[in-house]
Amino acid sequence: MPRSQRSFKIRAALRGSLFRNAMRCVEMLAKRNPDRYPYCDRDTRKLKIMDITRFGRYETVTDGVGLIYSFANVGIIIGTRGVVLIDTSSATFSKQIWLTLRAQTSLPIEHIIFTHGHIDHVTGVQRFLDDAAEHGFPRPTIWGHEKMLARFDRYERMPGWITEVNRRQFGSNNVGKSIPASYVRPDYVFSDSIVIDFEGEPVELYHADAETDDAAWVWLPQRGVAYVGDLLLNSLPNTGNPNKVQRNTLGWAMALEAIAAKQPQHLMGGHFQPIAGDQCQEVLIETARALRYLHDAVVDRLNAGRWPEQILSEKLQLPEDLRSKPYLREVYGCCEFVVRDVLRQYAGWWTGHPAELFPLSRAEMGAEMVGLVGADRLRERIRELMTQQQCATALPLAVMLTDSPEVTAADRDLLATVLEKLSDSERSFIARNLFAQEAAAAKRSQSG
């Protein structure tokens, strides 16, 4: 074994051991308190969307193709002269991924493919550019969709907002530490599709307007492998993410159908364990069918003259045969968010409720409500609703109370309790964390 490769293996073993011990501690905490760990299933106390104990591990998917687990996984194609990386994970996890990669091979990285521009998939790239420079290898060529350029421009223009949105969504005040000031752009971009020649083997890239407008999925026709980025998540897809830009529910379904048409024997992606055999077709087709079902249900109602407010009040759900699929559980995305995504795409921002066209401020609404029924009666009703397990009904009343001139510290504590109860009962971790973050804000306001 060459000395350099032996050195990589030794360092990977030493640091990897420490990393795995740390991950075991995190998993133990997650099982004890799953509310704080978004990827832990609330009923079974098992990590379902991603298993954090796998972070940093390499798994062979088929000959010459593997996956390194991380917060965002990294796909690996190992040839005879070089390596292709599919995504790079984030800067936070890039060192562990680099060590794992170099424990597998000392070959130069020839190509890096971005499946989309989300921070957890692309910001680890500098580690691998540095690897090439340090070892005298040619700089890897970076590939991505053409709309990624505009995405990175927007990210660099709005770092404060991106930090705040992700802090709330992921329930962590440390998110800002992973938001870079600038981004490494692809060297080559494409519109619909492109083929990379890797040692005589075609590596095909296809555009998908889905979770992002710059998404790409990778197809290895000689191996029957599809790397789908975030197009599959082991959950109902998270279209309609509350504070993210427009996503495309129908485009997401169409992308999954296009992948299924290739009849892959192996599926890999950013946040799930590899899938093989007949299950590939099932997961692709049924996830696409779920998205089409919700999309078409909204479109049919809009065409029948129903307004968004009326459609939202129906609380549309998947039929039982889809809802029962383990990979369509509402643990990341949820049906209501998908419905809102479709409404936002086709129907604009107004729900049709006349009071929401030029709405009163929250302070004005709170003052009116308290003036009408009195603060004491409002407090009493909120507690009644909480006793009846109707926290969703109690929430707007609690918000109006805390927005009124008569608000007390106890009222903010009451709001925090309502929000915590909603967070505890919520299936979607995005909604769960948003409720939890608002509860924490109410408590901070109380102490202030």
Mean pLDDT over 148-156 rounds to: 97
Mean pLDDT over 382-408 rounds to: 96
- Note whether 272 and 299 are same-domain residues: no
Q: Cα separations (Å) of 116 from 158, 175, 346, 382, 408?
A: 18, 19, 24, 44, 46
Least reliable range by pLDDT among 13-27, 94-108, 230-244: 13-27
Q: Does 394 fall in a domain?
A: yes
Q: Does 30 fall in a domain?
A: yes
- Note whether 208 and 265 are same-domain residues: yes
- Note whether 145 and 216 are same-domain residues: yes
Q: Does 151 fall in a domain?
A: yes
Rounded to two decimals, the pTM is 0.88
- Residue keyed to tokens 């193709």: 65
Q: What angle do CA 407, 413, 417 make, to 5 degrees?
A: 130
* Domain region containing 316: 285-347
What pLDDT, in 10s, does the model give residues 70-85?
999 999 999 999 999 9
Residue 305 Ramachandran class (φ > 0 left, ψ -120 to 50 alpha, else beta): left
Residue 113: pLDDT above 80?
yes
- Note whether 72 and 127 are same-domain residues: yes
Q: Does 308 fall in a domain?
A: yes
Q: Does 42 fall in a domain?
A: yes
Q: Please provide the average confidence, as pLDDT, over all residues in the chain.
A: 89
Q: Reduced to 3 states, what is the DSSP secondary structure of residue 269?
A: coil
Predicted confidence at residue 171, as pLDDT, reads: 81
Residue 220: pLDDT above 80?
yes
* 249-267: burial string, b at 16+ Cβ within 10 Å, e else: bbbbbbbbbbbbebebbbb
Helix axes 391-402, 409-425, angle to 10 degrees: 150
